[in-house]
Each structure stands twice: as structure tokens, then as C-alpha cells.
Amino acid sequence: MKPADSFILVTGAAGGIGAAVCRELALRGASLVLGGRSGDELLALETELRALGARTSRLVADLVEEDPARTAQRAIAAFGSLDMVINCVGVQTFGLAADEAAGDTRRMFLANTVAPIQLCNALLPHMTGRGNGHIVLIGSIFGSIAFPCFASYSASKFALRGYAEALRRELAGSGVRVSYVAPRYTRTAFNRDAVARMAEALKMNTDSPEAVARSIVAAIEADTADTYLGWPEKLFVRINALLPRVVDRALIPQVRRMVGFTRRAESGPA
């Protein structure tokens, strides 16, 4: 789908990747509904996007708390119709599974999995009724390669990928397309200090949010079902699917080093 002249809801719009996606879309002539929790952050982004010539509307909502039907209604009402939703909301925890607070596990699944699924489900009648629409889900390379110290985060993104795949099959021929885009490590505030230090020590490949945004928009324009960003990460996704023990051999030796950057390391030996 071409973003020009489309009405697009971007959730997590004030985040690092979300805001970069909004800028790319604004330059292409899209009208944007900016979803986020902070009215001030959305207002600052809106001012910037309007200066680029975009039509915008702000949708201030906590997507975990608000009834998805109401969010969907508000998003459609902003311009009277909605062509696309790009789900950029996400939260992450880093550490050993045994150390994760129960509330964090719950929060992560609600924000990364339940909220986007419920929002897309609520938008589907509008899109299928018009025989036109595009659902875009931002996953993660960790949604295909389950990473130690990111167990719940990985699981939440595996689930989102499963939803995207099932939905794409379910909607085949309906005029509503589904794209799943999986970034690798992206330099945004999403990765707190400890994760950033760990990534540097392990020499992880990283991308700028601007580069990721360009890839997301290219995937949308090309109507690609699944996009994995970064080389060699996209190859490892394939290897992990076919030969997971090979990836075990690469990742398991890293666990001890990764733990060195977690809270457990700061509080001394368990």
C-alpha cells in the first residue's frame, strides 16, 4: 500500500522507531493519527510533522488500559476512515528469568502482545468492510531467535509473530494485508543503559531508528509479509528455524557475559 493519501494510525508514535516512521510517512504525504501515552510528546511530534506538511491528529491513550474498541473508534474518527495501523508499542525487560518480577512479565505481554492484537482485531471490521487495509506489526529478531536474558520479551514477540502469520492467512483475498517487520537492536531509549553496555561488549550489530523506519516503510510499500532487518541476523533467523542447536552453540557461551550486565550482577552472587 502506498502511504501517500493514506490515513495511518501509528501506535508508540513518540518512541524512537515510531517517531522515525512518522517522519518517513509525513514526507510521503500520509495523514497520521499519532498514538501514545504522553500528550506533550505527541504535541511536539505533531508540530514537527505539520511543518513537514502532514495532516495529523493525536490519540492519547494507554493501550493496555483503554478498551481496544474505543481506541479503534477514536482512530477511525480522526479522519473519518483508517487505511493502516502500524503497531510500534513495546516494552522490554533484561535479566535472568528467575529474577523477573511477575508484574513485569504481565506488563510486557499486555503491551507487546495483547494490546496490539486486540487493537488490530477491533480495527478489522472497518478494514474488511471496505475491502482495503494494512496491518503492520513491529516484532523483533528476538521474536524468531529466543534470547537468553530476554526470555519473556522473546516469548511476547514470538506470540506476536504467530498472530501476524495466522492473520495474514485468515485475511488472504480480503483486501487487508498484514506485514510483520522484525528489527534487530535499534539505538533508541528502549534499550536502557545495561542493555546498551551489554550490546557494546558483545559487539552486537545496531541500527539507527531512521534506518529501521526506512526499512519499515519499504516493507509496507512492497507489501512484504515478513521482513527481518540486518545481516547476518536475517540468516540466523533461518538457521534457528531449521537448526536451533547450531544457534545454541553460538548463544549459550554468551550467557555468562550477558548476566554480568544484569541486576543480579550488581547485587552480587546469588
* Contacting residues toward ligand NAP, per CB under 6 A: 12, 14-18, 36-38, 62-64, 88-91, 111, 138, 140, 183, 185-186, 188-191
Residue 266 CA: distances (Å) to CA of 119, 215, 269: 38, 37, 9
CA distance 211 to 227: 14
Least CB distance from residue 238 to ligand NAP, whole Å? Answer: 18
**Omega prior to 148 cis, within 30 of 0:** no
- In the bound state with ligand NAP, the residue whose beta carbon lies nearer, of 3 and 68, is 68
- In the bound state with ligand NAP, the residue whose beta carbon lies nearer, of 64 and 159, is 64
| Active-site pick, 153, 163, 180, 185 | 153
Least CB distance from residue 22 to ligand NAP, whole Å? Answer: 11
CA distance 119 to 176: 15
CA distance 192 to 155: 20
Least CB distance from residue 225 to ligand NAP, whole Å? Answer: 18
228 is catalytic: no
Residue nearest to ligand NAP (CB): 15
Least CB distance from residue 11 to ligand NAP, whole Å? Answer: 6
What three-state secondary structure class fits 223?
coil
Which cell is 42 given?
Answer: 505527541
- In the bound state with ligand NAP, the residue whose beta carbon lies nearer, of 131 and 199, is 199
CA distance 195 to 153: 13
List, by residue number, the catalytic residues: 153
